């Protein structure tokens, strides 16, 4: 069953096979809870993901089931987990970004508008390109939404989360209302404070060697990976531009051929074909690079941020701990409210210790996860680059042979191919 | 509506496991309507020597030939002894090699004086090999002479390069990179192509001005270059066109061939310009790709430095190195894009202008012929009037003038016939050359692509074990 992307009465439907996504690895090797997104439906602005679960856990009502979920419901799940105090010592899997169909939608609009002025061939071609673009965006967004769920399901603590279970199982609409202005502003404020986090994290006196190293590493790595992700994106964009140019060249060659009635016409048509092939190959290089490299970097930029958030929470707890110590000393000096201060201090210390212990585990497994994911994606990207280069080389060789053979008539002489 | 193409796009990506490329079947026919699908089979059956290339083996043993075209001697039309396929087609041996090199700075112009070397076995030349020095203005001077001598006869005189080398369609993406190195190479290459095109023309090859230009060590100093610049010639051509447009009597085109051809060339002009613009855009974007790849390489290197896992750190640094090398490949490819395809199209856009000029010259000739006929008619009428007046000398003069104008009419008709004949022949030659020129360029372009891909395979195959070594 190949991935397909087709249109039915204004909606776009995508079916995929599993294992398309590989940004994070080893996420589904525990058969007791297996989640994937086998298909998605795009209706105007709304994307409905089919979340499919297979489980042997008794906490679920059925061993296999599917529910439709929209992006907002993923965000709701993410936010409830972030807001759960218990999970302060864990790296919260980053929320998937909103599906961005702006590009293909613009093209769809152009297609609709220009339908009357286009030839049948041009229209069919543009439609085909449009489908490819939709498919590309689909793949990306399914990838990030699926990985989000798989991160949760493969984590010993998150997989037991009640809201997670509801998300997977509840077959009605979760009725997640859109954040109102106040909540959105609150979120904005939270993000503003994030830059203050950096100061807090770097400012706090660290006693633990491990966390000191992690802090230094994460702060530096975070800016580097963000930059690499942005540069990779620009590189991918350039590939797409080159593919676009090949497309225009091919079209222009065909137009020139159409008006021509000499021997030149056939040649122009062949050349148009060459550039069309080049375009397709360039497109594939671009989209593979995007999926394996750019998306990888984007994802881990978000994941690094989640790790930093953990450090922040721990730093906060450390600060609270220190404050509670000071408060206890003060209370002892004053001779007032000592018991309360003692209790407070005990709790702060407990919280801090818990965060540190769990944080250490999380950050260690995070590194392992990151390394494995990079390895897998770099290998796959490299293999695809090699494959595409070989296909391109082969196709160019074939065309070269055809064109040089034309010169020599029926002799079948290889011509300049000798030097290859 | 399903899109099999889009579907298979992802099917290819999803290798069932992360096996090496050897495990995957080579997808030769992923297009159901691939016109060359049959040819692909032919290739593997008929030409056993090609097997090593097609096989999906380890790192290619084939050491790529030095970048075929984009050294400083980009001889698009170079007929090296290896390229016998053209000779076979031509029958007539065209053994002449011209190279333009050693650009020298004179005054403000960074590329004003050049060496021109000629190698030939043709007997019209006095020596087999000769090298001379020429100024840019000399080239313009040569063209101006040829244009004035031959254009009115209907010969398509190849246009000389412009003084300023700016993209004809002025597509600007990012900063216009006119470093003097690029400028010099562009001009050198353009002059070389100009000369080759000129000598390919059988009549121009025999022209004494051309021979002198190619052979003699000293040239008479050219007249002011302003009038001789490419733009100047263009103005001259446009003036002819204006003259035609202002013709009050529309030419009675009895020859459908000319009407059709003129329309074709009008269309071709528009289309080639559009095509040229697309190719210029490709060159720009390819250069951008190179810049962005280099930028990513630096960023990946920094990321590698920051990475605290040793093996991953090393792999990222290696990735950065690969991307740097690939950046260089993109630059090379951009050169190929430009010097092969973009310049070819630019040349042809200018050539079409010359072709259109020649059609206009024919119209001018026809107009002249018409004018002569009108004049003859007037003279005859005048003579008729004088028949009845009793002025014997004036009558004789009128009779003389009639004879004179009869002669002119005859000459005009002969000229018109001649230029029509010449144009037919020229257009035929142009159309034949056009097919050849484009094919040669496409072949070289494909070679450049094959070379680039070869290198890319090499680089990525070297990187693969590094990626796999991440533990």
Give the pLDDT of residue A19: 42
Which one of A260, A288, A418 has the shortest CB-CB distance to B13?
A: A288
Residue of A nearest to B14 (CA): A20
Helices A120-153, B4-13: crossing angle, 10 deg rounding: 40
Q: How close does chain A come to B325, measured CA to CA in Å?
A: 14
The per-residue pLDDT of chain B, averaged, comes to 75
- Of residues A192 and B195, the one with the higher pLDDT is B195
- Of residues A106 and B403, the one with the higher pLDDT is B403
Which chain A residues have a beta carbon less than 8 Å from that of B463? 382
Residue A121 reports pLDDT greater than 60: yes
- Looking at chain B from residue 69 to 88, which residues have their Cβ under 8 Å from any Cβ of chain A? 82-83, 85-86, 88
Residue A192 reports pLDDT greater than 60: no
Residue B166 reports pLDDT greater than 80: no
pLDDT digit string (tens) for B368-411? 888 899 999 988 888 888 888 777 888 888 888 889 899 999 99
Ordered alpha helix ranges (H), A178-294: 181-203, 209-258, 264-289
Residue A311 reports pLDDT greater than 50: yes
Which chain B residues have a beta carbon less than 8 Å from that of A394? 26, 28, 54
| Cβ proximity of A135 and B9 under 8 Å | yes
Give the pLDDT of residue B34: 38
Which chain B residues have a beta carbon less than 8 Å from that of A280? 5
- Spell out the residues 6+ positions from residue B227 whose beta carbon is closer than 8 angstroms to its own: B144
Q: Pick the residue of A261, A374, A406 with the most B CBs within 10 A to test the interface with B by mutation.
A: A374
Give the pLDDT of residue A13: 62
Which one of B14, B89, B300 has the shortest CB-CB distance to A407?
A: B89
pLDDT digit string (tens) for B326-350? 999 999 999 999 999 999 999 999 9
Give the pLDDT of residue B250: 66
Whole-angstrom distance, CA of residue B42 vs CA of residue B140: 49
Q: How close does chain A come to B58, measured CA to CA in Å?
A: 11
Whole-angstrom distance, CA of residue A310 vs CA of residue A87: 9
pLDDT digit string (tens) for A312-325? 899 888 888 888 99
Domains of chain B: 256-470 (1.20.1270.60)
Give the pLDDT of residue B419: 92
Which chain A residues have a beta carbon less than 8 Å from that of B6? 4-5, 128, 131-132, 135
Reported as half-sphere exposure (CB side, CA atoms, 13 A), residue B263 has a value of 8
Tell how many helices (H) and how many strands (E) occur in chain A: 9, 5
Residue A316, CA distances (Å) to A189, A322, A342, B60 in order:
17, 10, 19, 57
Average pLDDT over residues A171-189: 58
Buried b (16+ CB within 10 A) or exposed e, B74-112: bbbbebeeebebeeeeeeeebebbbbbeebeeeeebebb
The per-residue pLDDT of chain A, averaged, comes to 83
Give the other-Cβ count within 10 Å of A82's Cβ: 14
| Cβ proximity of A227 and B398 under 8 Å | no
Reported as half-sphere exposure (CB side, CA atoms, 13 A), residue B405 has a value of 21
**Residue B203 burial (C-beta neighbours within 10 Å; 0-12, 13-18, 19+):** middle
- Looking at chain B from residue 298 to 337, which residues have their Cβ under 8 Å from any Cβ of chain A? 298-300, 302-303, 305-309, 311-312, 315-316, 319
Reported as half-sphere exposure (CB side, CA atoms, 13 A), residue B459 has a value of 20
CB contact under 8 A, B306 and A382: no
B242 to chain A, any CB pair closer than 8 A? The answer is no
pLDDT digit string (tens) for B267-320? 999 999 999 999 999 999 999 999 999 999 999 999 999 998 999 999 999 999
| Cβ proximity of A33 and A55 under 8 Å | yes
Average pLDDT over residues B19-25: 36
Whole-angstrom distance, CA of residue B151 vs CA of residue A68: 75
Q: How close does chain B come to A282, measured CA to CA in Å?
A: 12
CB contact under 8 A, B439 and A237: no
Q: How close does chain A come to B48, measured CA to CA in Å?
A: 11
Which chain A residues have a beta carbon less than 8 Å from that of B446? 274, 396-397, 399-400, 403
DSSP characters for B430-446? HHHHHHHHHHHHHHHHH
Give the other-Cβ count within 10 Å of B46's Cβ: 13
pLDDT digit string (tens) for B118-159? 888 787 888 888 888 888 888 888 998 999 889 888 899 999
Task: Tell me which DSSP letter residue B162 carries.
Answer: P
Give the other-Cβ count within 10 Å of A47's Cβ: 22
pTM for this entry? 0.79
Domains of chain A: 1-173 (3.30.1520.10), 233-413 (1.20.1270.60)
Q: Pick the residue of A138, A220, A231 with the most B CBs within 10 A to test the interface with B by mutation.
A: A231
B45 to chain A, any CB pair closer than 8 A? The answer is no
CB contact under 8 A, A262 and B446: no
Q: Pick the residue of B5, B8, B9, B327 with the most A CBs within 10 A to test the interface with A by mutation.
A: B9
Radius of gyration of chain A measured on its C-alpha atoms: 28
B282 to chain A, any CB pair closer than 8 A? The answer is yes
CB contact under 8 A, B468 and A375: yes
- Say if strands A33-43 and A11-15 run parallel, antiparallel, or are unpaired: antiparallel
Q: How close does chain A come to B23, measured CA to CA in Å?
A: 11
| Cβ proximity of A23 and A150 under 8 Å | no
Residue A402 reports pLDDT greater than 70: yes
Which chain B residues have a beta carbon less than 8 Å from that of A262? 431
Of the listed ranges A207-216, A262-271, B87-96, the least confidently predicted one is: B87-96
Which one of A245, A382, A403 has the shortest CB-CB distance to B278?
A: A245
Residue recorded with tokens 């602005």:
A45
**Residue A339 burial (C-beta neighbours within 10 Å; 0-12, 13-18, 19+):** exposed
Give the pLDDT of residue B19: 35
Residue A406 backbone zone (phi > 0: left; psi -120 to 50: alpha; other: beta)? alpha
Whole-angstrom distance, CA of residue B30 vs CA of residue B9: 9
Which has the closest alpha carbon to B27: B56, B48, B7, B62? B56
- Say if strands B129-135 and B96-106 run parallel, antiparallel, or are unpaired: unpaired
ipTM: 0.85
Strand segments (E) across B211-367: none
Whole-angstrom distance, CA of residue A301 vs CA of residue B113: 56
Residue of B nearest to A413 (CA): B85
The strands making up B109-120's β-sheet, listed across from edge to edge, are B96-106, B109-120, B129-135
CB contact under 8 A, A227 and B18: no
Residue B32 reports pLDDT greater than 60: no
Whole-angstrom distance, CA of residue B252 vs CA of residue B259: 10
Whole-angstrom distance, CA of residue A270 vs CA of residue B442: 10
**pLDDT category of residue A18 using cuts at 50, 70 and 90:** very low
Q: Please give the interface size between A and B, counted as residue pairs whose CB atoms are below 8 Å apart.
A: 281
Residue A29, CA distances (Å) to A26, A32, A34, A64, B428 in order:
6, 9, 8, 17, 71
Which chain A residues have a beta carbon less than 8 Å from that of B281? 245, 248
């Amino acid at each position: 069953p190949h991935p397909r992307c087709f249109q039915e009465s204004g909606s776009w439907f995508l079916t995929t096979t599993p294992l398309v996504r590989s940004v994070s690895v080893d996420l589904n090797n525990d058969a007791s809870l297996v989640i994937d997104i086998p298909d998605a439906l795009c209706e105007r602005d709304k994307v409905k993901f089919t979340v499919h679960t297979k489980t042997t856990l008794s906490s679920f009502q059925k061993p296999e089931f599917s529910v439709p979920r929209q992006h907002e419901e993923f965000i709701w799940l993410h936010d409830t987990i972030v807001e759960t105090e218990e999970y302060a010592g864990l790296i919260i899997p980053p929320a998937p970004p909103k599906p961005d169909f702006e590009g293909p939608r613009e093209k769809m609009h152009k297609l609709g508008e220009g339908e009357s002025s286009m030839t049948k061939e041009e229209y069919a071609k543009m439609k085909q390109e449009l489908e490819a673009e939709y498919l590309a965006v689909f793949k990306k967004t399914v990838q990030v939404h699926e990985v989000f769920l798989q991160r949760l399901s493969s984590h010993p603590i998150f997989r037991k989360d009640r809201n997670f279970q509801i998300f997977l199982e509840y077959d009605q609409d979760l009725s997640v209302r859109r954040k109102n202005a106040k909540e959105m502003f609150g979120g904005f404020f939270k993000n503003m404070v994030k830059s203050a986090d950096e100061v807090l994290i770097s400012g706090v006196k660290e006693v633990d060697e491990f966390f000191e190293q992690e802090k230094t590493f994460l702060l530096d790595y975070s800016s580097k990976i963000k930059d690499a992700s942005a540069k990779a994106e620009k590189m991918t964009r350039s590939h797409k531009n080159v593919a676009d140019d090949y497309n225009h060249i091919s079209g222009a060659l065909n137009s020139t051929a159409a008006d021509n009635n000499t021997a030149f016409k056939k040649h122009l048509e062949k050349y148009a074909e060459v550039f069309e092939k080049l375009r397709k190959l360039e497109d594939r290089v671009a989209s593979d690079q995007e999926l394996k490299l750019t998306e990888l970097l984007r994802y881990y930029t978000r994941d690094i941020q989640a790790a930093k958030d953990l450090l922040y929470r721990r730093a906060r707890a450390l600060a609270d701990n220190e404050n509670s110590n000071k408060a206890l000393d003060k209370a002892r000096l004053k001779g007032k409210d000592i018991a309360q201060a003692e209790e407070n201090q005990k709790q702060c210390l407990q919280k801090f210790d818990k965060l540190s212990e769990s944080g250490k585990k999380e950050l260690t497994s995070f590194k392992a996860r990151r390394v494995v994911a990079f390895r897998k994606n770099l290998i796959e990207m490299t293999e695809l680059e090699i494959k595409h280069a070989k296909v391109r080389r082969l196709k160019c060789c074939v065309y070269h042979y055809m064109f040089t053979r034309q010169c020599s008539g029926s002799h079948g002489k290889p011509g300049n191919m000798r030097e290859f | 509506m399903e899109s099999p193409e889009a579907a298979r796009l992802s099917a290819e990506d999803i290798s069932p496991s992360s096996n090496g490329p050897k495990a995957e079947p080579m997808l030769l026919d992923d297009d159901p309507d691939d016109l060359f699908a049959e040819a692909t089979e032919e290739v593997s059956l008929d030409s056993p020597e090609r097997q090593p290339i097609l096989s999906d083996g380890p790192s290619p043993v084939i050491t790529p030939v030095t970048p075929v075209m984009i050294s400083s001697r980009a001889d698009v039309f170079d007929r090296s002894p290896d390229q016998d396929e053209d000779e076979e087609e031509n029958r007539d041996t065209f053994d002449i090699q011209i190279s333009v090199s050693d650009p020298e700075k004179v005054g403000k112009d960074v590329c004003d004086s050049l060496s021109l070397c000629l190698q030939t076995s043709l007997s019209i030349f006095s020596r087999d090999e000769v090298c001379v020095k020429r100024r840019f203005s000399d080239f313009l001077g040569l063209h101006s002479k040829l244009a004035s001598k031959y254009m009115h006869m209907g010969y398509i005189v190849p246009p000389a390069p412009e003084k300023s080398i700016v993209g004809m369609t002025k597509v600007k993406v990012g900063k216009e990179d006119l470093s003097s190195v690029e400028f010099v190479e562009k001009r050198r290459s353009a002059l070389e192509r100009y000369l080759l095109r000129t000598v390919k023309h059988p009549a121009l090859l025999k022209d004494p001005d051309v021979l002198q230009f190619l052979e003699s060590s000293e040239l008479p100093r050219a007249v002011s270059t302003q009038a001789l610049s490419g733009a100047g010639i263009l103005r001259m051509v446009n003036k002819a066109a204006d003259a035609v447009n202002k013709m009050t009597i529309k030419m009675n085109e009895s020859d459908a061939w000319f009407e059709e051809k003129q329309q074709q060339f009008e269309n071709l002009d528009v289309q080639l310009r559009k095509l040229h613009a697309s190719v210029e855009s490709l060159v720009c974007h390819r250069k951008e790709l190179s810049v962005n790849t280099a930028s990513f390489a630096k960023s990946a290197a920094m990321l590698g430095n920051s990475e605290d896992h040793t093996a991953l750190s090393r792999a990222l640094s290696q990735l950065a190195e690969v991307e740097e090398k690939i950046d260089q490949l993109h630059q090379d490819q951009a050169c190929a894009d430009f010097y092969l395809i973009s310049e070819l199209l630019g040349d042809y856009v200018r050539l079409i202008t010359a072709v259109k000029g020649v059609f206009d010259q024919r119209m001018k000739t026809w107009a002249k012929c018409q004018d002569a006929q009108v004049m003859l008619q007037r003279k005859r009428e005048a003579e008729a009037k004088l028949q009845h007046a009793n002025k014997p000398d004036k009558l004789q003069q009128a009779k003389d003038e009639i004879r004179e104008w009869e002669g002119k009419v005859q000459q005009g008709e002969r000229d018109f016939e001649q230029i029509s004949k010449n144009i037919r022949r020229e257009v035929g030659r142009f159309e034949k050359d056009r097919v050849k020129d484009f094919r040669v360029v496409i072949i070289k372009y494909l070679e450049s692509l094959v070379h680039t891909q070869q290198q890319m395979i090499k680089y990525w195959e070297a990187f693969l074990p590094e990626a796999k070594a991440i533990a």
